[in-house]
Amino acid sequence: MTNDTIFALSSGIGRAGVAVVRLSGTAVPEILTRMIGHVPEPRNARLARFKDPSSGETIDVGLALFFPGPASFTGDDCAELHCHGGPAVIAALLQALAMLPNTRPAEAGEFARRAFENGKLDLTEIEGLADLIEAETEAQRRQALRQTRGALGREAEGWRRSLLEASALIEAEIDFADEADVTVARQEVDAVVGGLKLELAAELAAAQAGERLRGGLIVVIAGPPNAGKSTLLNALARREVAIVSAIPGTTRDTIEVHLDLKGLPVTLIDTAGLRDSTDPVEAIGVARARARAGEADLVLWLSETTAAETPAFDSNVEIWPIRTKIDLGGVSVAAKTERLHLSAATGENLDLLIAKLTGFAADRTGGGEGGLITRERQRHAILAALAALEQAQIELLSKAPELLAEDLRRSIRALESLIGRIDVEDILGEIFGRFCIGK
């Protein structure tokens, strides 16, 4: 299958002014010759008439580009056919390509996987590319772009080279025990191990901000029935997302809205009112509300009175008590400024809540400049590398260079798995399967 020439629609599905069909594989020059009559000059767009090779009928007139390997995205010969974005045009062009020998439609993420297998991108860059496609806010875009440019991969490669040098010193001690200056070698290795431990620990400390920025902060709106939760959700979303009713128990399930707070991603979740209920459906909603609140980064606890106590959840989630419906009276001007008191119906003090939420999001995501680690897989790889280094530091005090050498090798292997050199076959399918067809 890796010898096949693959093709796919790389632009969005549906009507558009222009659609892009991408090809990659050894048969690309032959396909171009049969469909447009020639192979265009590399990396130059040329007006071409796309023909069905089997009938000679013109399908469309558009632009053709040729990217010879290895100087292409996948490392193989690639081409792009830019045609009009009508469904009939796209269908005819894809059907004509499918009829050619040794060609087939690409699987999800197959172009990116070929780029990885041909050494064009390491695994952290591939993950950054996936994040760039999924990015919804400016901060997410910037973080993903750093990854696609190899920020984490370059750091990991530098750490790996330092460990290889340290490992060479220990191997020399093992092979030439009578000649090697053991004391000097151990001092050099100790300096490398100590320095790398500090660097890896610093990246792990910043990992939470990077992962939160990638996935978005979770803010749950909770409280008793009729506290104004759905009204607040609609006000923050600036559209009618949830049904608002005076009848208690109207909201039965969680409702999610994605917000962009000055480039920072926040998922706002409206939940069922927390109360004891004999209604089995409402009881399920209440249980889900408690579960989502326990998993959140922040809970906005709404109530109509300042005396209402905030509940205890299963985790140490931060809770902001908020008094709602202040438009109905009963709150002094001084009290409105002391705590979070608002009216979602009129918008009073809503700007203050948004400002506080934006500050909270900035604090939890490192101001939108998260660390290099953005995924759980990456964090686990660096944790494994750090654990091996900690053990190596213990072995430095012993008389067993063989154990020290093995610890260094384990740390090197962890870093190699981070960038995709080894031990990643079991996760490649999951990573590339999340890509869209044509990427």
Chain segment 86-128, per-residue pLDDT in tens: 999 999 999 999 999 889 999 988 999 999 999 999 999 999 9
Is a pLDDT exceeding 50 seen at residue 334? no
| Buried-exposed string 57-84: b where 16+ CB fall within 10 A, e elsewhere | eebbebbbbbbebeebbbbbbbbbbbbb
Nearest to 159 by CA among 406, 332, 385, 340: 385
Task: Report, in angstroms and rounded to the nearest whole number, the Rg of the chain calculated over CA atoms.
Answer: 29
SS3 label, residue 370: coil
For residue 12, is it left (φ>0), alpha (ψ between -120 and 50) or beta? beta
- CA-based diameter of the chain, in Å? 88
Q: Mind listing the domains of the chain with CATH numbers?
A: 5-117 (3.30.1360.120), 124-209+373-420 (1.20.120.430), 217-364 (3.40.50.300)
Dihedral sign, Cα of residue 195, residue 196, residue 197, residue 203: positive
Per-residue pLDDT tens digits for 230-269: 888 888 888 776 555 555 555 556 788 888 888 888 888 8
pLDDT-based confidence at 214, cuts 50/70/90?
A: confident
State the Cα–Cα distance between residues 98 and 391, nearest whole angstrom.
55
Q: Which residues pair with 276 in a beta bridge?
A: none
**In the block, residue with structure tokens 């007006």:** 47
pTM here is: 0.77
Rounded Cα gap, residues 83 and 80, in angstroms? 10
Q: Given pLDDT bands bounded at 50, 70 and 90, which one contains residue 395?
A: confident
Alpha helix stretches (DSSP H) within 311-375: 333-338, 350-364
The Cα-based distances of 148 to 20, 107, 141, 144, 160 in angstroms read 22, 21, 10, 6, 20
